[in-house]
Amino acid sequence: MANVVAFIGARGGSKGLPRKNLLPLAGKPLISYVIQDACQCRLIGRVCVFTDDPEIADVAKAHGAEVPFFLPDDMCTDDRKIEAVIKYAIDRLERDEGYRADIVVYLQSTDFFRKPEWIDWCIQQLLDDPSVETAFVAQKTHKNYWHKDDGVPLRVREADAQYGSRQSRRRFYYREDTGIACATRAHVIRRGERIGRTVRMFEYDSFWWDIHTEFDLWLVEKVMLEWLPHHPVA
């Protein structure tokens, strides 16, 4: 049986929306929703919140998550890559407990309107096919993308430029939404990556929102209380 652990990062020093993981949202702390999503997954063995903040830890445990240890300060800086934090977490679980993760499920607490079935789908891809290193949620887009090189606008790929109706287009881009759900083999994390070389994508078309501002918080609560009761996520 594979050891599948959910990684939920929640540092206390969030800048854009201070203390966002503890903010009330439709009557519950924000972080409680991602914990609930993870706990409802049939394929996740451990739901772990990794934080440097005692109050976040208490709330996480009260809603069903483990907090195996506190993250050190150097794992909670603005410039610390999430890949390094996940690697630290799974390495320390092995060192402290002898628990060696096989699959790591990355979930962001600020991403809303995911379904637990999407998370299980990602995990199942890795269980079914040993060659798959990562499975994540992605959204198809018909937009044309540009970037700037020394201030000069350039197409991301000239050959992919398409205009006309969305229905007539033959090629689409897919946006990684790994914060909604991303299952990765632990050996990929141990080599310092979050996305492996062989992937599967769960394509979704549902409404999704990432909370970073007070407006985001207000909007998500509005959707939860006034829209979702009559229009469940597909």
pTM of the predicted model over 0.85: yes
Closest by CA to 60, choosing from 12, 2, 117, 122, is: 12
Mean of pLDDT values over 204-229? 91
**Quick check: is 156 in a domain?**
no
Would you say residue 90 lies in a domain? yes
Q: Is residue 85, in this structure, part of any structural domain at all? A: yes
Q: Write the DSSP string, 155-179.
A: ES-GGG---S-GGG----EEEE-TT
User: What CATH number is associated with residue 9?
Assistant: 3.90.550.10
pLDDT (mean) for 97-106: 98
Q: Quick check: is 232 in a domain?
A: no
Residue 184, in any domain of the structure:
yes
In the chain, the percentage of residues whose pLDDT exceeds 90 is: 74
Q: pLDDT grade, residue 25 (50/70/90)? A: very high
pLDDT at 173: 79
Range of the domain at 97: 4-139+174-227
How many domains are contained in the chain? 1
pLDDT at 192: 94
Note whether residue 147 is domain-resident.
Answer: no
Residue 91 lies in a domain: yes
